[in-house]
Amino acid sequence: MKLTLRIWRQSGPNAQGTLVDYVLDDVSPEMSFLEMLDVLNEKLILDGDIPVTFDHDCREGICGACGMVVNGAPHGPQTLTTTCQLHMRTFSDGDTIVIEPWRSAAFPVVKDLMVDRSAFDRIIQAGGYVSVTTGSAPEANTQLVPKPDADLAFENAECIGCGACVAACPNGSSMLFVSAKVSHLNVLPQGQPERESRVVGMVEQMDAEGFGGCTNTGECTNACPKGIPQASIARLNKEYLRASLTHRR
Partner 1 sequence: MAVTGILMLLFLILHMAGNLKIFFGRDDFDSYAHWLRTIGSPVLHNAWFLWIQRFVLLVAIALHAVSAYQLSRRDLKARPEKYAHRLRPTASYATNTMRFGGIIIGLFVIYHILDLTALVANPNGVEGAAYDNVVADFSHWYIALAYIVAMLALCLHIAHGFWSAARTLGAVTSATRATAYKATAGVLAAVITLGFLAVPIAVMAGLVD
In the complex, the residues that contact ligand SF4 under the rule CB under 6 A are 159-165, 176-177, 180, 224-226, 228
Quick one: which segment of 54-62, 177-185, 203-211, 239-247 binds ligand FES (CB under 6 A)? Answer: 54-62
Give the angle subtended at the CA of 68 by the CAs of 62 and 72, to the nearest 5°. Answer: 125
The least distance separating ligand FES from the CB of residue 60, rounded to whole angstroms, comes to 6
The least distance separating partner 1 from the CB of residue 6, rounded to whole angstroms, comes to 8
Q: How far apart are the first and last CA of the chain?
A: 60
CA distance 70 to 239: 34
173 part of the interface to partner 1, by CB under 8 A: yes
The least distance separating ligand FES from the CB of residue 121, rounded to whole angstroms, comes to 16
Residue 225 or 229 having the CB closest to ligand FES = 225
247 binds, among partner 1, ligand SF4, ligand FES, none (CB under 5 to 8 A by kind): none
* Beta-carbon contacts of residue 73 (< 8 Å; ≥ 6 apart): 168, 223
Beta strands in the chain, from DSSP E residues, in sequence order: 3-9, 18-24, 69-70, 73-74, 96-100, 109-111, 114-115
Among positive and negative, which fits the CA dihedral 10, 41, 19, 219?
negative
The least distance separating ligand SF4 from the CB of residue 75, rounded to whole angstroms, comes to 8
Among 12, 13, 15, 19, binds partner 1 (CB under 8 A): 19
Q: Report how far Cα 51 is from the mean position of its chain's Cα atoms.
A: 24
Among 43, 103, 122, 247, binds partner 1 (CB under 8 A): 103
212 part of the interface to partner 1, by CB under 8 A: yes
Strand partners, 8: 19
218 part of the interface to partner 1, by CB under 8 A: yes
Q: Report whether 59 contacts 43 (CB < 8 A).
A: no
Roughly what angle, to the nearest 10 degrees, separates helices 175-186 and 231-246?
A: 70
x/- track of binding to ligand FES for residues 70-89 (CB under 6 A): ------------xxx-----
- Positions in the binding site for ligand FES (CB under 6 A): 56-59, 61-66, 82-84
